[in-house]
Structure 1
C-alpha cells in the first residue's frame, strides 16, 4: 500500500470504532506496518534505478524516496497524535477489517518499476505457480529492514535476495531459497532453453543485489523446463513413431513396385529423362564415372547421378557434346544401352569403345553424319550409318575380334586414313569390293592380323595411297588379286605381306619406282614366289628382312638396281630355297649386311665381285649358310668393325681370307673357318670369345696374333677338336682374368684355363718360360 492509500484510509477512519487503549495500540502497529510497506516499496524502486547504472535516474529516485519517506513519517506522527489526543477512536468489533488485502510485494515491485523506469518487463508464461506460495510476509520484510534503518543510502535497506548477517535475515533468506519463485532477476534472455537453465541455476540461489544486471526480467519457467526428463522421453517416443511410419510407407512402395515387375514380367519403367543436358565433355565424363563406379547406378536406379541426369544412361541428353573420344575406353565390362543418344553434334568418336570388350549395343540408329574422326571406335551393326563425312577411320575396328558386320553400303569417299582399320578383327571378312577409296592415303596395317579376311579388292583405286606398311601382315587367308593396283604413289611397303601365309598374288606389273622402304615386305610369306624381276627398285634404300623366312621364294632378282640400298640386314635370312644370281648387284652403298644370308641353307651364289668397302657390320652374315663356300678372298673389309658369328655354322666354307684387312674389327665372337688366318692384324680386336667354337677342322697357327687389346677370350677354341697349337707367345699379353674354358673340349694337349702365376697352360704347352 502506498502513501495515497494510507491517506485515503485516514480520511475514512471516523467510521471505524474501537474499544480502549489495547485496540488503539494494535491498530497503531498495523498502520505502522503499512507505512513501512510503502517505504519498502519506494526503496525497492530506488534499488532498481541504481542497478541499471543510470546515475541520473538513481539520483531522481533518491529524491523521490526521501520525500515520500518524509511524508509518510509526518502522516504517521499525525495519526499517532490523533489517536493519543482522543480525536480518533478505533473500535475492534471482531469482524474482518474493511481495509483491502495487501498487494503482494512482487506485483508492487514489478508495477512500480515498469511505471517509473520503463525498462523492466513482467513476463507471464501462462502457467500457474505449482506451489502457490504466498509472498513473504510483510512483518518478516519489515524485521529484516529494521536492522539497517538510519543509513544515508536508501538502497542499503534492500535485500532481494541479498545474504543476511542477522539471525532473522538468515531465516528470511532460507525461506526464499527453499520456496520456488516465479521471479528471476537475471539478464534478459530470448533463448528458451537458456532461460530454463538460468531459472534453475538462479531462482533457488541467493544472488547479491549488486550482481543483478540492468535488463532484468521476471520469468516463470514453463512446465517442460521444470520437468526436462519427462519432456525428453516424450520427444524421443514421438520421433521413433514418425521414423517407423515413414519406413513402413517406403517398404510398402518398394514391395508394390517389385510386385508389379514380377507380375508384368517386364522391368520397371526408366526414370523420365532429365531436362538437364550435359554442357561439355568434362561433365559427361564425370557423370559416366559416377554412374559406373562411384554410385553403381546400373543396379541402383535411385543413385544421385540418375536423379540428376536420368536413369538409365540411355535417357541422357548428350546433344551438346561434340567430343566423345575415349568415352568408354578400357571399361571392359561396360554394356549399357545407348541407342537413344542424340550424337548428331559429335565430330570425334575416336577410341570411344576401345577395349570395351563386353559392349555389344545397337548403335545402328545413331546419326553420325557430323563425325570426322571415328578412329578405333568399336564393333556392332553399323550398316545404316552415314559416314560420308568421316575422314579418319584409322583403327576403327582394331581388336574387334567378333566383328563381321555388313559395311558394303558405306560411302567412304571422304576418308583419307584407313590405317589399322581392321587390325586384329580376326572374324571380319565383309564385302568391301564397292568401296570408293580414291581419297585414302594411308592403308598401313589396314588388314593386319585380320586372320579371316580374303575379300575382293581388285577394283580399288589406290592411286592416292602413299603407305601400305604391314597392310596384310598376318592376314593368314588373304590371297586376293591385286595385280591391277596402281601403287605408283606408294613410298613405303615395309612388311606389306609379312606372314601373309597364303598370299602368292601376281605383282609383276606393279610400279614400285617411288618406294624407298621394302624392309620385311615378304617376311614370313611362306607361300609367296611371285615374279618380281621387272621391278624398278632404284629408289629403295632399305631391303632388310625383305625375304626373311619366305621359304618358297626363289625369284630372279639379277637385274635389280640396288645401288641406293644401304641395308640388307637379314634380307634372305631363313629363305630356305633361295639361290638366285646376285653377282651383278652394286652393293657399294650398303653399310649393314648383318645376317644377310643367315640360315639360307641353299644359297651358294657368286659374291666375289661385290664392293663391300662401305660395310661396317658383317656379323652372322653367312651364319648357318651350310651350302656356301664362295670365294671372298678379294673383299675389302677394312671398314668392318663387327665380324661376330660371320661364318658360324657355315660348315662348307673354307675360303682363303688371309689377305683380309681386319684392323678395324673389334668383335670376332663366334667367327670361324678353316683357312689361313696367320697374317691377320687383330690388334684392334677386343672380343674373341667363341671365335673358333666348334670349328672341328681348324688347326691354324695363330701364335703371331697380337691379342694385347683382347679383353675376352672365353671358350675361344672350345669344341675345336683338331686344334692343338703352342700359344706361349701370348703368355705376356694374355687376358688371364677372362679366358675361362678357352681350350675346353678342344684338341689341346693341356686344355685347362691358363693361370698367370703358372704362365700356362697354353694348349700344346703346359707352361711357358719367361721370354
Structure 2
C-alpha cells in the first residue's frame, strides 16, 4: 500500500504543475486569451497557471509581438525564463502601460529586438544587466518610448548590431551616455536619433566606417553637440538625406568627409539655420554622378541655397559657390566632347538651366548649346526627345561623324530651326527623328541620305513639315513604314526616289492629307511587298493598297494605267555653308589633355615648362600642304625653340 500512496502523491504533484509552452505560436495564443480575461480559474490559467508571471516559457524561442497593443497590461513577468529566446521583436510594441522590472532576464541568445519597446510610452526600467552581445538588429527598439531615459544602455554590447534604424526615434527623455558603444558593424543608422531632445553625449569616438545609411539620423533632434562628427569616416555612406534637417545649431565643417559613395543628399541640411559651411571640397568625388540633392541647403545660412548640379566637369553649388573650369576667355576655347556618353550627359545637364549662362555645362562646353563642339559625336539619338519647349539654333553643330539620329527631335513640339548646314553623309538611322515635332518645317532637301537604311516614322506627326525631299538619295533605304504618317502638310513628289531596296512602306503616307502625287514610277522599283495602308486617309486619288500580284504595281496614289515617266533623280544639293557667326570647327575648341604639348625638359624648379599649342594657320590659297601637316611643323618648331631657349 505504501507504493500506492507514493504514486498518488506524485500524481497530485504533477497535476499541480503548470503546462510548459513549447513554441511562440502557442504562447501568443495563450497571452491573447489571458489578456481578454486575466483572472484565475479560466481554462488558460488552469492549464498554464496564474498569474501570467508564473508561466513556464523556458522552451520558447520566439516572443514576437507577444504583448503588442496590450495597452493596459502591466503585470510582473520578471521570473520568466528567457534563456532560449532568440527574438523579442515587437514584444512590448504599444504596450502603453507596461513598466515592470525585467532586468534579470537572460537574453544572451537574442539576435533581434526590432520594435521591442516601440511606443511603450510608460516603460523606464534599468536594463544594464541585459546581455545583448548576440543582437544584430535593434531597429525601432525604443522608438516613441517617450518616458524611457535609457538607464543602463551605456554598458550594452552592441558590437554585432548592424541595424540601428530609428532605434531612439522620438525617445524624447533618453539621456544615457552612449559614447562608449562599439558601432563598427553598423550599416543602417537611418532615423536613429530623429526627434530626440535630451541626448548630449560625445559621438566623436563612434566608428561609423561601415555604415551606409545616414538618412535623417539626427533630423529634428535637439541637444546633441555634433561638432565632433567632422572626424567620422563616412566613405561607405550612400544615403545622407535629411541627416541634419532642422538641427538649428548645426554648423560643423564636413568638408573633410569622403562622400564618394553617396547617391542621395536631399534635405541633408534643410532648416539647419546656422549651417554655412562651404562643401566644394566634395566636388571631385561627385563629378559626373547622377545624384539626388533636392532642397539640400534650403533654409540654411549658406551662400547659395540652390540645389547642386552634377556634370562631368563641375559640381555645385555646395552651400558655397564652387568655381567651374571656365572656357578660356582669352582664346575663346571650350572643350569638345570625347564620347557620345559625355555628350548625352552634357545635354541632360544643360536642360536643368538652359537659360543660365552660368550653367556649369556652359562654362565647360560653351553657351548657347548651338556653339558646342560636336565633331567627335557619333550618336545623337534621343538628344532632344520630349524637350517640348526647346527651339535653339543648332546650325553650327558639326554632324559629319554622326551615325545615329534616332528619335533626335521626337516630341520636340516647339523646335523649328534651320538644319540645312548639317553634314549627314554617315548617318544610317533616322527612325522617328522628327516624330511628332509638330512645328518643324525647315528645308532638308540638301541632306546627304545616301547611307540611311531606316527612316521609319521619320516625320510621323510632323504636321507642319512640307520640305521638298525629291533629290534625296535613298538607294540604301530598307524601311520607310510610317515615314510621313500624319504629316498633314507634306505633299512633295517623291517619284524620283530609288526605292529598289525598300521592303516596307506600310502606312508611309497614311493620314498625310496633302499628299496626292502619283508614285506609279515606283511600280517596277519597290522591292518589298509590305505596303498595307500605304495611302490610307491621304490626299491620293486612289488610297487602296498596291496589288503585288503583278508588275508594275498599281495603284500607287493614283491608278497606274500607263508607264510613268519619272526617272530616278541624279540631282544632289550641297549643304548650306555654316553661318559666319559659328565658331571655327577647330581653332576655337580644345580637347581634354591637349592644351599643352609634351615636353621632357624641366625648369630649374623641376617643373616641366608649359609650351602652348600654336594656333592653326590656314594654308595659303593653292598650297599643297595640308592643315594637319602645318600644325605638326609649327608644333615641332615651337617645342624646339622652347628647348633651345632653356638650354641656353
TM-score by length of 2: 0.50
Larger RCO (alpha carbons 8 Å, 6+ apart): 2
Q: How does the TM-score come out when normalised to structure 1? A: 0.43
